[in-house]
Structure 1
């Protein structure tokens, strides 16, 4: 089974499960697709007692996909760019202080609350784990997942200001999460001679600062190129090139590709930039293109998550 056939199967399952959810179950797509995929996989497990052909095929698909690479190196940049592109930069600026507070202090508080709760609960099931490792787990899961947040908030009818705060926090908390995780990891692994608070700060500056600067440059360059022409086909391709080329450059420079794509998306998607760089027709095509990319990748992603869980 080659990669084209694997992608074909995933798109087919995504379309089928997406239809079932939209037609009958009507849960938020991210939740509905994961639940349906888990039920489907349980069904395949049951069927395997009589015929294991489908189970072996699903196992083969999962073993051929490097989930970390597919998510972090491919999907994440596209999804974050699409989410940032549809985020109102002016509203985000107006709510910058709550967003900054949530993305920094909020992640830190969550880390210690979750770590403390896990430390108290694990002895109840007979597990004794040092507190530092519980805090490490808290740091691992505290940053909210921007993909799930953006997907669910599109369906939920929450106040606009609250939605903007949550979206902004989810887009910018990764850098803080990395620093907290590495700091606790260094403390837990005290025998590591390379760990120091200075090395953590250096990593933060390079990853976060470098990602922001790269994203700002890419956003500015794409804006200039789009402003100089009036061809919606080429302008859509320019935005696609920004994401693909920008991710490759970020990986080469060892800076944060997700943050770079967030900043680039915000820079290109801002209302003032749109009016100066894009015609109304181009805005419509760019928005529809990235909305489709967002929906397609989200659908495939949560089908994969359901398969990976089992």
Structure 2
């Protein structure tokens, strides 16, 4: 099956599932697509018991797709630029200290915590696994996924403060998580069992800091070009070119393309945009990237649901996968509540806001892509099952219930305020 036919199938499934969801099921867009795709994946998965040959053929085709490269090398740049473009910097800036703590310190704490607990669970189940692989799992599962958050959480009705904090955290913490993942993966490929802090520090500066400044440079260059003309067709085309070329150059230069695209999107979407683009151009640019965001989200969530077909399950590995869900949630509790307790002046969030931030920390396509990029080994399949379990729970359970939680908390707050007002 060539790439065009595969794209035809995915787009057709996206349109069909989107219609069924909107017409009958009425789940949030990406959750509905993921749910229906997972049901189809389960049907295909059961073929191994009643039509094994057909199952083997479908699995072989899906394994040729290289979903990790598709997400990391192509889709991620477009999605993150669109996310940055539609994010208001004024909202992010108000929560910048909290976002910084969660996006940097939080990912580091979570990576180590998840690794230690997963290593302990595997030991209890007599499953031998290297602690380095546990750290790799911690690095790939700790970042809050910006794609999942922007596709689900922003429509869940949470408060503006919490939404801005989680969205801002999700936009920046993937850079830290990916850098840690790359450093650990290079250590693994080099055959080292320890963690080289010097190499990690150098790589962090190169990837994260380099990506930050490269994104600022791209953003200013694109702003200058947009400002110099007034033709919406050309200006839309310029944004596409800058995303594609900029992300490609970042990969070539070993810079964080994800971080560069976020910064470029934030810059173009917020810095003197009325001077750079006319009202007509702004309308076309934003609507174009909204459409790109919707289409790519549909493709992404259908694609990651089909990962289920290529995973070989064992009972022990399923137990590890279920345990990973609780491990990741517990690590998130630690990441949110520890800074809130020890640094209340820096991490300014209430108890109710902390609950939403714990439950609203969604995982998605980025984690799937990272785990699929690991070299083939017996440990990779364990981590694939653990990652897929966390993503399914995150999208289907947390994603469907975060709106109800936010509404209940908001109602309780209003009741408390009304009681206080009545007493006074």
TM-score normalised by L of structure 2: 0.67
1:186–1:195 CA contact under 8 A, matched in 2: no
Q: CA deviation at 1:25?
A: 2.0
Change in Cα spacing, 1:182 to 1:44, as seen in structure 2 (3 Å) is closer
Distance 2:188 2:76 in 1: 29
Match of 2:16 in 1: 16
Q: What per-residue deviation string (whole Å, max 9, x for no partner) do you get for residues 172-200 of structure 1? A: 11232245446667888996399632221
2:146–2:171 CA contact under 8 A, matched in 1: yes
Change in Cα spacing, 1:227 to 1:114, as seen in structure 2 (3 Å) is same
Match of 2:125 in 1: 125
Match of 2:308 in 1: 309
Distance 2:47 2:248 in 1: 43
Match of 1:218 in 2: 218
Match of 2:6 in 1: 6
Distance 1:46 1:194 in 2: 41
Change in Cα spacing, 1:42 to 1:309, as seen in structure 2 (3 Å) is closer
Between 1:178-187 and 1:89-98, the stretch displaced more is 178-187
Q: CA deviation at 1:108?
A: 2.1
Match of 1:192 in 2: 192
Match of 1:237 in 2: 237
Question: Residues 18-97 of structure 1 correspond to what in structure 2 (within 5 A)?
Answer: 18-46=18-46, 55=55, 58-59=58-59, 61-97=61-97
Between 1:30-39 and 1:190-199, the stretch displaced more is 190-199
Distance 1:217 1:265 in 2: 12
2:187–2:193 CA contact under 8 A, matched in 1: no
Between 1:222-231 and 1:169-178, the stretch displaced more is 169-178
Q: CA deviation at 1:201?
A: 1.1
Unaligned runs of 5+ residues in structure 1 are none
1:182–1:200 CA contact under 8 A, matched in 2: no
Match of 1:155 in 2: 155
Change in Cα spacing, 1:282 to 1:46, as seen in structure 2 (3 Å) is same
* Matched residue SS, 1:157: coil
Q: CA deviation at 1:30?
A: 2.6
Change in Cα spacing, 1:254 to 1:150, as seen in structure 2 (3 Å) is same
Aligned-pair RMSD on alpha carbons? 2.7
Distance 2:139 2:61 in 1: 31
TM-score normalised by L of structure 1: 0.89
* Matched residue SS, 2:272: helix
Change in Cα spacing, 1:91 to 1:309, as seen in structure 2 (3 Å) is same
1:140–1:177 CA contact under 8 A, matched in 2: yes
Match of 1:247 in 2: 247
